[in-house]
Amino acid sequence: MPLVRIDVPDTLSHDTRRAVSDAVHAALVEAIGIPPDDRFQVVTAHAAGGLVADPNYMGISRGSGFMSVQVFFRRGRSGELKRALYAAIVRNLARDAKVRPEDVLIVLTENDPVDWSFGNGIAQYAPG
């Protein structure tokens, strides 16, 4: 059920973008237990200047490979699960797509069951 937005530099090859997408999805499956077929992602590549990040905010040295991962999902996961998800995402990205952990910004946004419609204009998680 998560919707994931992944914003990457357009310098990444198609194969690397796919590896990024796969790595993030695998982290969601392993860290928070979403079903493997529950995959909804928007992967957007940005030209130079399309992704802006302070190169040293919070003492983290970011490079030209900066990317952001936004995960929208239902409310209720513990801080421990969220931390495990952050770690799994950067571990998988480093291993599978050769992305530096320092270059990955992750933002989680929680919402309620009624905030989702998977088609047909129906709130499938909160039928009225």
Domains of the chain by residue range? 3-115
d(C-alpha 68, C-alpha 66), whole Å: 7
The CATH number corresponding to 3-115 among 3.30.429.10, 3.30.1300.10, 3.40.50.970, 3.40.50.300 equals: 3.30.429.10
Could you report the per-residue pLDDT of 30-87, keeping only the tens digit for each? 999 999 999 999 999 999 999 999 999 999 999 999 999 999 999 999 999 999 999 9
At 101-124, the pLDDT tens digits run 999 999 999 999 999 999 999 999
How far, in Å, CA of 4 to CA of 50, rounded?
19
Query: Bridge-partner residues for 9, per DSSP?
Result: 46
Q: Tokens representing 82?
A: 């969220």
Q: Is 100 exposed, middle or buried (0-12, 13-18, 19+ CB in 10 A)?
A: middle
